[in-house]
Amino acid sequence: MVVPNQDRDGVKVRAGCCTPFINEQLTDSEATQLAETLSLLAHPIRLRLLAILARHAGHVCVCDLEAALPVKQPTVSHHLRLLRDGGLIEGERRGQWVYYAIRREALARVRTLIHTFFDQLGES
Amino acid sequence: MVVPNQDRDGVKVRAGCCTPFINEQLTDSEATQLAETLSLLAHPIRLRLLAILARHAGHVCVCDLEAALPVKQPTVSHHLRLLRDGGLIEGERRGQWVYYAIRREALARVRTLIHTFFDQLGES
DNA sequence: GTAATATATTGACAAACTTCAATATATCTG
DNA sequence: CAGATATATTGAAGTTTGTCAATATATTAC
């Protein structure tokens, strides 16, 4: 791969190290979108919220989530909001309580997105 | 699911909203480890680095990575270091240049980790 | 040795994230 | 209505992250 330096059109051309062209298969916007999705997942409290909501297929109230996690109520609400804004869960008020549930279609889309990324990595 | 308040052993028991017990299937340390792994992936530049390195199965020098990405050289080095510290890539100096390569076994482990998490979510 | 090139590290700065006390809002009960 | 409970929001403080100019280190060429 190492070749001597040379001029082209009177301009010194960097040479020696290199793969001449890098055609990316992952565009800027694709990378940004995937990174945002991964960032939404990349917090232990949010992962545990998803795990709890997925297990309790029905709906779980915030007070139970708070009881199951080592953070205070405003922090639970904060992470629930991020997950809701990201479309991964939905919340519904019933009387005093707000019940959250996982959105399995959205989760499936995320899974596919990540799966596809790894598949692209695989085909070297 | 809604039941009236009641005393148990003389202590007022919260009642009404709730799933009485939440047995988590995702422990604190599991969630933390998965979150750390996802955080390592959760940046567009790092995703693109992985994509480039995966495609160019051999080794790619930093100068090419820098040329392919919209950040300066120290920033590329910074992200390469994170990926290397996380075990996802490896670097090797050859003369002036340092060539990086993807570590496919490590990538496969990450993939399995994430896959397993989604599987656990699935079995409601 | 000096000069040039490639990469890594340092340090500074800004932006984003996390947490929580305090407070606001909504609902129920009486 | 007032009082109690559940959840959301605000605002402040600390922490982490991302970027890059400047600098350091390593290698090559002369």
pLDDT tens, residue by residue, B66-124: 999 999 999 999 999 999 999 999 999 999 999 999 999 999 999 999 999 999 998 65
Residue nearest to nucleotide C8 (CA to C1'): B77
Q: Are B24 and A48 in contact (CB under 8 A)?
A: yes
Closest CA to B23 of A55, A88, A70: A55
* pLDDT of res. A5: 36
Query: Residue B79: helix, strand or coil by DSSP?
Result: helix
Residues contacting residue B61 through CB under 8 Å, at least 6 positions apart: A17, A18, A19, B97, B98, B99, B100
Is there a contact between B18 and A64 if contact means CB atoms under 8 Å apart? Answer: yes
Establish if A13 touches chain B: CB-CB under 8 angstroms: no
Strands in chain A per DSSP E = 6-8, 11-13, 60-61, 89-94, 97-102
Nearest to B120 among A32, A34, A51 (CB): A51
Could you give the CA distance from residue A16 to residue B35 in angstroms, rounded to a whole number? Answer: 40
* pLDDT of res. A18: 67
The pair of structure tokens assigned to B10 is 């003389």
Give A17's contacts in chain B (Cβ within 8 Å): 61, 63-64, 96-97
* pLDDT of res. B23: 65
Instruction: Identify which of A7-11, A38-42, B118-122 has the greatest average pLDDT.
Output: A38-42
In Å, what is the CA distance from A48 to each residue of A21, A45, B64, B79? 43, 5, 40, 28
Q: Mean pLDDT, to the nearest integer, of A23-29?
A: 81
What global pTM score does this model have?
A: 0.86
Establish if A111 touches chain B: CB-CB under 8 angstroms: yes
Closest CA to A62 of A105, A101, A88: A101
